[in-house]
Amino acid sequence: MTKLRLMVVVLVALAITGGGYAFAYLSSSTVVDVTSAGDEIATCEPAPVGDQPDWNSILTSEPGGTEILRPNAFGDETGITYQYPDSGEHWEKVDEDTSDGDSTYVLSNNTNWQEDLYNIVNHSTGTGTINSVRVYMVCKVTDTPGQTSAYIHLMTGGVEYNGNAELLTTSYATYSYQWNINPNTSVAWTWDEIDALQVGVGLRKDGGTGKDTLCTQVYAEVNYGGGMALCGDVPTGDLFDVTPDAGFTGDLGVKVYLTNTGDLIKAYQYLNMKLYLDGSVEAGETPNYQLLTLNNGVATFSLEDYAPGTYTLSVTGGSYCLVSTDPSEWESGYSVTPELYCQVIQMGE
């Protein structure tokens, strides 16, 4: 209770000396009643708890999942000699949802490695952190194997990478290779990189005459989520309802202060909140919000020539990045919930 009493004292002092009204906003579930001294020029009440941003959502693990992405166009390489049927494009021979065996395939009977790359469909269901990209191929040789004759082929950032060369069998079998991070950037994959990804295969004949290598299916599997997101969008919602007193006709200034920066920087690398106040001068500008960050600590709005009523101050967007996805690595005393207070003052005071 010591902290709450101290904050009330500070806020009451602001109301007395600054000619305004201030209200503490401590978390999404805790508020403190503050009564201003004398006549009020406005009230600033916390928004209903259910309408406030849910900052605990930052600590919630993302749902895990996988998304399959299949070829939908030719890529930067079409180097494999043959396809069956001969008409159409190479990517059409390996794009089926279920392997169709010898009905469609690409084939190499060359002693040198030959490569195909295929563009794939953009992701549609995957969200959040990308854990890995695994590329699959379904291949075989036409006679008893004697050497490796197929590998997974991939291009990202304009650079080509290969999986392990595989020793195949005379029956179609599935082979795969996984990249946990983007080999081009050496950090976690992004969804833009996934959408620009090209996947394919490298093939060569397996030794002697008649030992052709066939590939009938290629696709990528993206594994995502399943853990706390390192970076993301801030939760949105209402913070305060500002109501000018009906008997006051002057212009008002509304200031929102961030009071627990020291605790927040133990959890966040950065935190940027886009604040919007209905009916404010700033709401009619571009951009129509004020940015409240760990660096600036305050956002200011002006209410001029306003009609009687209540004006809601909200978080409409923003972004954050945590120190780590493991809270045990955060400094003791961290918080992910911004503590704010709102001060309404007469302009010119």
Tell me what the mean pLDDT of segment 168-193 comes to.
96
Please give the residue range of the domain that contains residue 148.
Answer: 69-224
Confidence (pLDDT) at 206 = 86
| 166 secondary structure, DSSP code | B
> Does residue 331 register a pLDDT over 60?
yes
179 and 210 fall within a common domain:
yes
Fill in the amino acid letter for 223. N
Q: Could you tell me the CATH number of the domain that includes residue 196?
A: 2.60.120
Asked if the structure places residue 247 within a domain, the reply is no
Same domain, 197 and 149: yes
Mean pLDDT (whole number) for 173-199: 96
Name the residue with higher pLDDT: 173 or 210: 173
Residues 12 and 79 in one domain: no
Domains contained in the chain, number: 2
Q: State percent of the chain over pLDDT 70.
A: 87
The answer to whether residues 211 and 176 belong to one domain is yes
Alpha-carbon dihedral of residues 320, 326, 330, 335, nearest 10 degrees? 50
Instruction: Supply the pLDDT for residue 39.
Output: 59
Say yes or no: 314 and 220 in one domain. no
Residue with tokens 């590939």: 215
**219 occurs within a structural domain:** yes
Of the given ranges (11-20, 23-32, 61-70, 196-205), which has the lowest mean pLDDT? 11-20
Q: 33 and 148: one domain?
A: no
- Residue 274: strand pairing partners: 291, 317
pTM: 0.55
17 inside domain: yes
Domain shared by 146 and 99, yes or no: yes
What average pLDDT does this structure show over 30-39? 36
Q: Which of 202, 163, 203 is nearest to 183 (CA)?
A: 163
Residue 249 in any domain: the answer is no
pLDDT at residue 60 in the model: 82
- Per-residue confidence (pLDDT) for residue 210, from 0 to 100: 73
- Please report the DSSP string for 97-118 in residue order: SS--GGGSEEEE--SS-EEEEE
Q: How far is CA 242 from CA 114, 174, 246, in A?
A: 69, 63, 12
Same domain, 180 and 284: no
Q: Is 88 a member of any domain?
A: yes
My answer on whether 157 and 272 are in the same domain is: no
Do 56 and 77 lie in one domain? The reply is no
Measured CA to CA in angstroms, residue 82 lies from 19, 55, 128, 280, 348 at distances of 83, 57, 40, 67, 80
Confidence check: pLDDT of 91 > 60: yes
pLDDT band with cut points at 50, 70 and 90 for residue 28: very low
The region that residue 226 occupies, defined by phi over 0 for left and psi between -120 and 50 for alpha, beta otherwise, is left
- Indicate whether 33 pLDDT > 80: no
pLDDT tens per residue, range 249-307: 889 999 999 999 999 999 999 999 999 999 999 999 999 999 999 999 999 999 999 99
Q: What is the pLDDT of residues 36-77, one digit of tens each?
A: 334 578 999 999 999 999 999 999 876 789 999 999 999 999
Is 270 part of any domain? yes
pLDDT digit string (tens) for 191-235? 999 999 999 999 999 877 778 999 999 999 999 987 788 889 999
Do 111 and 170 share a structural domain? yes
Same domain assignment for residues 298 and 236: yes
First-to-last alpha carbon distance for the chain, in angstroms, is 32
State which amino acid sits at residue 338: P
- In whole numbers, what is the pLDDT of the chain averaged over residues? 87
Is residue 7 scored above 60 in pLDDT? no
- Any domain includes 158: yes
Q: For the residues of 240-275, what is the DSSP string, one character each?
A: EEEEE-TT--S-EEEEEEE--HHHHTTTEEEEEEEE
For position 163, what pLDDT does the model report? 97
The answer to the question of residue 150 being in a domain is yes
- Please state, in angstroms and rounded to a whole number, the distance separating the CA atoms of residues 153 and 160: 7
Query: What letter does residue 236 receive in the DSSP assignment?
Result: -
Q: What's the pLDDT at 23? A: 42
pLDDT in tens, 235-244: 999 999 999 9
Task: Render pLDDT for 119-172 as a digit per residue (tens, 0 to 9).
Answer: 999 999 998 889 999 999 999 999 999 899 999 999 999 999 999 999 999 999
Q: pLDDT at position 199, please? A: 98
Is the pLDDT at 21 greater than 70? The verdict is no
pLDDT value at residue 228:
82
| Closest CA relative to residue 11, chosen from 39, 44, 41 | 44
In whole angstroms, how far apart are CA 7 and each of 22, 55, 136, 268, 300?
11, 21, 60, 24, 20
